[in-house]
């Protein structure tokens, strides 16, 4: 009985070894084959730190350790200018692998059909430069009262390669030849070194006053608050220094209503003629402690404050004298 049981057990073990050994060998072969295959997963976008990049920085690699290390160091390209994007498809990657001795039959590519590679960077937009320049201009206005500053154009973006720990921005006002423009320069430094500049040019408008006629003003009529109003308006150039309302001046020509008064339209009032030609006058010299008078005759007509020729009646001598408000004249000594 014991021998029969032992025989049955041996038969079962022999049958099991025949049935299961080929399967185990097949699985081992399959595992061995899978370990020799390089699996590469490609994302749609990849960001690298340096100008030159390799497959290990772009994709996710799985497989035998030595094979992954070998494939990961394969160079894929170089980013030559800031902001550049390099697009790689599966065919290019398989070609690079083949050039390094890794046949396409040993590579399994998954993920996106192509990957876009760009360098990690920071970007200062052109609009940000305009905002910085505007803020600076408000605090450091050139001469005149600026009411409006419009940028003539938006500068280009500034791309800062790599991840800088310390980015600093400074501004300065550049002298402009045109009085209705202002130029602000923005200087960008990263980690203590200047990496770029941008200039923003503004077209300026100034707060200015002007006199506008309320009614028609005839020639010789004095300018006053009754016939003229003062308006404030934006202008291309600053208001002239010492500008005052033209009150007290007279019109040199007829000025229509709602007209802006220009300097050539008005002038000082002409004082009345005090002395006419050949009119008898008193020549008067007054000093502290004495007064001297003489009879004279005006050779020219004269107004208050003007210098005219006067003849001394007694000596017949012609002198230059200043016309006083009271009609007398005072010789120029």
Mark out the alpha helices in the chain (DSSP H runs).
Answer: 2-35, 55-58, 65-72, 90-99, 126-139
Query: What pLDDT score was predicted for residue 82?
Result: 63
Distance of alpha carbon 62 from alpha carbon 66, whole angstroms: 11
- Strands 114-119, 45-48: pairing is parallel
pLDDT over 60 (residue 5): no
Q: Identical fold at 38-119 and 123-206?
A: yes
Query: What pLDDT score was predicted for residue 105?
Result: 87
Domain 123-206 has CATH 3.30.70: no
Query: What pLDDT score was predicted for residue 9?
Result: 47
Q: Which pLDDT tens digit goes with each residue over 154-196? A: 999 988 876 556 788 899 999 888 878 999 999 998 878 888 9
The fold of the 207-267 domain, in CATH, is: Type Iii Antifreeze Protein Isoform Hplc 12 (3.90.1210)
Distance of alpha carbon 308 from alpha carbon 316, whole angstroms: 16
Domain ranges across the chain: 38-119, 123-206, 207-267, 273-331
Distance of CA 126 to the CA centre of its chain: 8
Q: Which pLDDT tens digit goes with each residue over 207-261? A: 899 999 999 999 989 999 999 999 998 888 888 888 899 999 999 999 999 999 9
CA distances, 31 to each of 34, 36, 41, 79, 110 (Å):
5, 9, 20, 39, 20
Query: What pLDDT score was predicted for residue 297?
Result: 95
Domain 273-331 has CATH 2.30.30.760: yes
Query: What pLDDT score was predicted for residue 20?
Result: 43
Q: How many CB atoms lie under 10 A from the CB of residue 194?
A: 11
Sign, CA dihedral 15-17-21-24, equals positive
Q: Which pLDDT tens digit goes with each residue over 283-292? A: 999 888 889 9
Q: Which pLDDT tens digit goes with each residue over 61-117? A: 998 988 999 989 999 988 876 667 899 999 999 999 999 889 888 899 999 999 999
% of the chain exceeding 90 in pLDDT: 53
pLDDT over 80 (residue 17): no
CATH number of 38-119: 3.10.129.70
pLDDT over 60 (residue 15): no
């Amino acid at each position: 009985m014991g021998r029969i049981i032992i025989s049955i057990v041996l038969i079962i073990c022999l049958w099991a070894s025949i049935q299961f050994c080929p399967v185990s060998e097949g699985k081992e072969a399959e595992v061995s084959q899978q370990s020799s295959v390089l699996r590469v997963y490609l994302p749609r976008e990849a960001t690298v730190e340096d100008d030159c990049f390799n497959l290990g920085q772009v994709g996710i690699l799985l497989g035998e350790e030595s094979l992954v290390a070998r494939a990961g160091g394969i160079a894929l390209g170089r980013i030559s200018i800031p902001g550049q994007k390099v697009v790689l498809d599966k065919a290019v990657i398989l070609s690079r692998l083949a050039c390094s001795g890794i046949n396409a039959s040993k590579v399994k590519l998954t993920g996106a059909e192509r990957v876009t590679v760009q360098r990690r960077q920071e970007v200062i937009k052109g609009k940000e430069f305009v905002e910085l320049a505007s803020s600076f201009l408000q605090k450091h206005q050139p001469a005149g009262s600026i009411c409006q500053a419009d940028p003539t154009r938006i500068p280009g973006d500034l791309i800062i390669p790599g991840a800088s720990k310390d980015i600093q921005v400074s501004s300065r006002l550049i002298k402009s030849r045109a009085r209705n423009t202002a130029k602000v320069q923005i200087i960008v430094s990263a980690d203590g070194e200047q990496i770029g500049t941008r200039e923003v040019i503004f077209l300026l408008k100034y707060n200015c006053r002007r006199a506008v006629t309320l009614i028609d003003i005839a020639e010789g009529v004095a300018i006053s608050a009754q016939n003229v109003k003062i308006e404030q308006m934006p202008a291309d150039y600053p208001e002239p220094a010492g500008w005052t309302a033209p009150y007290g001046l007279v019109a040199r020509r007829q000025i229509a209503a709602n007209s802006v008064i220009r300097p050539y339209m008005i002038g000082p009032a002409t004082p009345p003629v005090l002395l006419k030609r050949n009119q008898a006058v008193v020549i008067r010299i007054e000093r502290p402690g004495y007064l001297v008078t003489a009879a004279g005759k005006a050779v020219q007509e004269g107004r208050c404050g003007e210098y005219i020729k006067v003849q001394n009646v007694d000596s017949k001598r012609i002198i230059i004298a200043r016309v006083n408000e009271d009609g007398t004249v005072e010789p120029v000594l």
